[in-house]
């Protein structure tokens, strides 16, 4: 059939040519007309698969998303990968969204290098085929990943690019605004926008609906096995919708926590009352979700630090101790920072800070080198200096540099002074 024959009396053959080359997307009316003449369904013409195949694929995508948010990200990555492979070139849009799922699942597993590679490929694809994927969510994801990988300059460049886009669109609410604000505050850039999003979104209240989500998920699986795919998709969408308020609330709480942390790190002239309110609200949100134990402890440490800056050492001590109880035997920067707050309290009370600083040193040893670890080592070095322990200060500063990939070999007692500068 020629383009002219397919066009018939209703369309121009040049318009059919543009559709065939991918330069135009047919309207629903035109799609139905063309499908009738080609002897196929509209669904097959637009998506490359028949309706039943498409609904089964949609179900697979929803179950993969549920694994990502409420299950095992590694399983989610496998499921998204299978969908992308099955979709192939015949359904480029579906394949692109499945590959985006793979990237998100890699990020959720902490495989940041692989996630960056996947997001970068998708961003190039979005530039060439904007009808498949939007650039802005990919830019936000890359900003977040580069920050976590320790490339702060790249993260800030991407954050600035994303800010330029949202300023034109006027985006201050919704998932994308919250994700961008979180990426920016983690990179400590674009803070005026972060503040506007916080004012707009506040800290939403949400309950832990994990039991309901899992019940809906299981019902969806059962319906799918019974070949009622439409019901299975609806149940899966209900499960995802049930989890959305909590996801937004936790992200907003993380924004508030980081905002308070930044304020506490440079309290001169800062609004410590607002930092206290934000940190306390964040802790309240995290406390309602058992899965957020690590963030709950981290929020308690930030709130403890803020209280210490206000001179309330008693409350700061209680909060730091509460964080350590919550963490149990866990190692890492959060537990180490809680001990450093205890050391600061000891210094403020003219007590011995060495036991707390020693525990902090032990808890940081062996941690994966990254920006957070480097910041913790630097803070520890400062506190060892205040305690008058020059050798320990030198070691902590050296470890801070090594955490960001800088090797130093400065002899003798000049090391601490040189690294501090």
Helix/strand/coil (H/E/C) assignment for every residue in 155-192? HHHHHHHHHHHHHHHCCCCCHHHHHHHHHHHHHCCCHH
Alpha helical stretches, state H, 288-332: 293-309, 313-327
Domain count, the chain: 2
Residue-range definition of the domain harbouring residue 197: 138-202
Report yes or no on 21 lying in a domain. Answer: yes
Domain end: 154, 181, 202, which one? 202
Measured distance CA(302)–CA(324) in Å, rounded: 13
| pLDDT tens-digit readout, 313-332 | 999 999 999 999 999 988 89
Mean pLDDT in the chain? 88
Lowest mean pLDDT among 19-33, 277-291, 385-399: 19-33
Measured distance CA(337)–CA(343) in Å, rounded: 10
Residue 83, Cβ neighbours under 10 Å: how many? Answer: 23
| pLDDT tens-digit readout, 172-224 | 888 889 999 999 999 888 999 999 999 888 788 889 999 999 999 999 999 99
Report yes or no on 352 lying in a domain. Answer: no
Averaged over 58-81, what is the pLDDT?
94
Report yes or no on 24 lying in a domain. Answer: yes
For residues 61, 63, 68 and 72, what is the CA-based torsion angle, rounded to 10 degrees? Answer: -130
CB-based contact 297:332 (threshold 8 Å): no
Report yes or no on 356 lying in a domain. Answer: no
Measured distance CA(79)–CA(421) in Å, rounded: 50
| pLDDT tens-digit readout, 107-123 | 999 999 999 999 999 99
Measured distance CA(203)–CA(284) in Å, rounded: 10
What pLDDT score was predicted for residue 260? 94
- 407 has pLDDT over 80: no
Q: Which pLDDT band holds residue 413 (cuts at 50, 70, 90)?
A: very low
Report yes or no on 93 lying in a domain. Answer: no
Closest CA to 94 of 48, 153, 43, 163: 48
For residues 189, 192, 195 and 200, what is the CA-based torsion angle, rounded to 10 degrees? Answer: -120
Report yes or no on 13 lying in a domain. Answer: yes
Report yes or no on 260 lying in a domain. Answer: no
Q: Which pLDDT band holds residue 52 (cuts at 50, 70, 90)?
A: low
- 419 has pLDDT over 60: no
């Amino acid at each position: 059939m020629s383009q002219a024959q397919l066009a018939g009396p209703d369309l121009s053959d040049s318009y059919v040519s543009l559709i065939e080359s991918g330069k135009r997307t047919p309207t629903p009316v035109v799609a139905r007309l063309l499908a009738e003449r080609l002897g196929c369904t509209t669904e097959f013409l637009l998506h490359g698969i028949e309706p039943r195949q498409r609904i089964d694929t949609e179900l697979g995508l929803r179950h993969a998303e549920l694994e990502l948010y409420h299950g095992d990200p590694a399983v989610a990555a496998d499921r998204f990968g299978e969908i992308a492979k099955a979709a192939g070139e015949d359904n480029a849009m579906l394949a692109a969204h499945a590959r985006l799922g793979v990237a998100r699942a890699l990020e959720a597993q902490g495989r940041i290098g692989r996630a960056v590679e996947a997001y970068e490929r998708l961003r190039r694809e979005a530039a060439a085929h904007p009808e498949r994927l939007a650039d802005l969510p990919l830019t936000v994801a890359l900003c977040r990943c580069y920050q976590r990988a320790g490339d702060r300059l790249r993260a800030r460049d991407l954050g600035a690019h994303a800010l330029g886009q949202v300023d034109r669109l006027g985006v201050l609410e919704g998932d994308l605004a919250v994700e961008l604000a979180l990426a920016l505050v983690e990179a400590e850039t674009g803070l005026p926008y972060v503040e506007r999003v916080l004012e707009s979104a506040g800290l939403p209240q949400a309950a832990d609906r994990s039991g309901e989500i899992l019940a809906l998920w299981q019902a969806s699986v059962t319906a799918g096995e019974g070949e009622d795919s439409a019901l299975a998709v609806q149940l899966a969408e209900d499960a995802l919708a049930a989890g959305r308020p909590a996801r937004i609330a936790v992200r907003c709480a993380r924004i508030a926590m980081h905002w308070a942390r930044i304020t506490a790190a440079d309290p001169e002239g800062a609004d410590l009352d607002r930092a206290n309110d934000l940190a306390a609200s964040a802790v309240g949100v995290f406390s309602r979700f058992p899965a957020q134990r690590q963030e709950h402890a981290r929020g308690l440490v930030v709130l403890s630090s803020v209280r210490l800056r206000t001179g309330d050492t008693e409350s700061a001590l209680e909060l730091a101790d509460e964080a350590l109880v919550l963490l149990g035997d866990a190692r890492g920067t959060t537990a180490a920072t809680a001990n450093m707050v205890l050391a600061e309290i000891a210094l403020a009370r003219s007590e011995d800070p060495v036991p707390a600083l020693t525990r902090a040193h032990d808890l940081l040893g062996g941690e994966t080198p990254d920006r957070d670890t480097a910041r913790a080592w630097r803070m520890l070095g400062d506190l060892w200096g205040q305690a008058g322990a020059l050798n320990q200060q030198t070691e902590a500063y050296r470890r801070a540099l090594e955490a960001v990939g800088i090797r130093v070999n400065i002899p003798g007692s000049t090391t601490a002074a040189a690294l501090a500068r």
